[in-house]
């Protein structure tokens, strides 16, 4: 018997035994105690700033559908490029980010909520990455394999730093899930810089890059690397016609440079000041009740 099932069976037995033997007064007290205990646990966990975002990531069919939508759009771009591609043209390629684009880390975020961590935590992330608890984002594997079947090369460009084994961990994450193109040519892991443009431009010298896939504006162009919320939006809007064609954007409500724009850093501390900042961000526009 699995440990969890054994635990459930023991717990179930304990509840039945205590209920059957309790007097009505004891039964009521047990019920109240349990109720208080549950409430206390719930209120402390409800204090987590990320609970809504993570619940959405873990359960919303809409979240998953947005990935299918993104990969459907990317596939459309691939098909258009293939139809136009002529002998002698540069070979076709797609550039993709990894985390929250092709790889889903909801399992990490579940741990964060269970341990009441309010923001991205590097030390926990670095311990989690090598465990290969990722899943592929919905549609990711089919899309990359479709590219491969059509002779379109997929390059992975990711910013990660888990020490000297960073590259091997990324290889492990991708091969564990069955992604193709996991080799030195196609898998580019940057541990020292967050600017992806030099790596992307190098690929563009030799390939006609159909589209770039990412969950962070920084995955597309460095110009979006602004710490100002409104400036970031303004810069994005300059390129609004490119989203869904050149730039294929995935949803990420838990982390990324949108967090950096609010707090000035991507991994803020859980302090009263930062909680106030998050509150201010959430009430950037708010009805005054009149
Ligand atoms: Mg990412």
Domain map (residue ranges) of the chain: 61-282
User: pTM of the prediction?
Assistant: 0.84
Quick one: which H or E segment has residue 169? helix 166-177
Distance CA 179, CA 155 (A): 11
Give the mean pLDDT of the chain.
Answer: 87
pLDDT at 40 over 50: no
The H or E element spanning position 202 is helix 197-206
Kindly report the number of other CB atoms within 10 A of residue 244's CB atom.
16
Q: What mean pLDDT do residues 270-281 have?
A: 94
Rounded to the nearest angstrom, the distance between the alpha carbon of 14 and the centre of ligand 1 is 45
Mean pLDDT over residues 90-109, rounded?
98
Q: How far from 65 is each of 60, 139, 140, 147, 244, CA to CA, in Å?
A: 9, 9, 12, 20, 15
pLDDT given for residue 47 in this prediction: 80
Ligand 1 centroid – CA 205 distance (Å): 24
Q: What percent of the chain has pLDDT over 70?
A: 84
pLDDT at 172: 98
Phi, psi of 285 (to 5 degrees): -125, 125
Architecture of domain 61-282: 3-Layer(aba) Sandwich (3.40)
Lowest mean pLDDT across 208-217, 235-244, 263-272: 263-272
227, 261 in Cβ contact below 8 A?
yes
Res 48: pLDDT: 86
pLDDT for res 11 = 34
Q: Ligand 1 center to residue 244 CA distance, Å?
A: 17
Q: Count the neighbouring beta carbons within 10 Å of the beta carbon of residue 141.
A: 17
Q: How far is the CA of 100 from the centre of ligand 1 (A)?
A: 5
Give the Å distance between the CA of 255 and the centre of ligand 1.
Answer: 9
The reported pLDDT for the residue numbered 78 is 98
Distance 214 CA to ligand 1 centre (A): 6
Say whether pLDDT at 1 is over 70. no
pLDDT in tens, 4-33: 333 333 333 333 333 333 344 444 434 434
Which is nearest to 106 in space by CA: 40, 65, 57? 57
- Give residue 104 CA to ligand 1 midpoint distance, Å: 10
CA of 98 to the centre of ligand 1 (A): 6
| pLDDT score at 269 | 92
């Amino acid at each position: 018997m699995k440990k969890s099932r054994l635990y459930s069976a023991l717990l179930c037995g304990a509840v039945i035994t205590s209920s059957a033997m309790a007097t009505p007064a004891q039964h009521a007290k047990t019920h109240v105690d349990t109720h208080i205990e549950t409430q206390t646990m719930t209120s402390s966990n409800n204090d987590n700033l990320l609970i809504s975002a993570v619940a959405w990531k873990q359960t919303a069919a809409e979240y998953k559908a947005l990935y299918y939508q993104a990969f459907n759009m990317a596939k459309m771009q691939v098909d258009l490029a293939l139809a136009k591609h002529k002998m002698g043209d540069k070979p076709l390629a797609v550039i993709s980010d990894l985390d929250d684009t092709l790889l889903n880390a909801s399992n990490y975020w579940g741990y964060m909520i269970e341990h009441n961590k309010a923001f991205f935590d590097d030390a926990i992330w670095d311990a989690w990455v090598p465990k290969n608890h990722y899943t592929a984002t919905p549609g990711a594997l089919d899309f990359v394999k479709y590219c491969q079947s059509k002779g379109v090369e997929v390059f992975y460009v990711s910013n990660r730093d888990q020490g000297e084994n960073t590259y091997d961990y990324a290889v492990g994450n991708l091969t564990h899930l069955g992604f193709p193109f996991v080799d030195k040519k196609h898998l580019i892991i940057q541990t020292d810089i967050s600017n992806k443009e030099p790596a992307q431009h190098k690929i563009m010298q030799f390939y006609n890059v159909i589209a770039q896939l990412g969950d962070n504006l920084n995955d597309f162009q460095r110009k979006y690397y602004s710490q100002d919320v409104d400036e970031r939006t303004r810069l994005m809007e300059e390129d609004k016609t490119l989203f869904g064609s050149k730039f294929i954007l995935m949803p990420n409500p838990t982390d990324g440079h949108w967090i950096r724009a609010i707090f000035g850093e991507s991994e803020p501390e859980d302090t009263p000041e930062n909680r106030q900042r998050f509150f201010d961000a959430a009430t950037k526009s708010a009805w005054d009740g009149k």
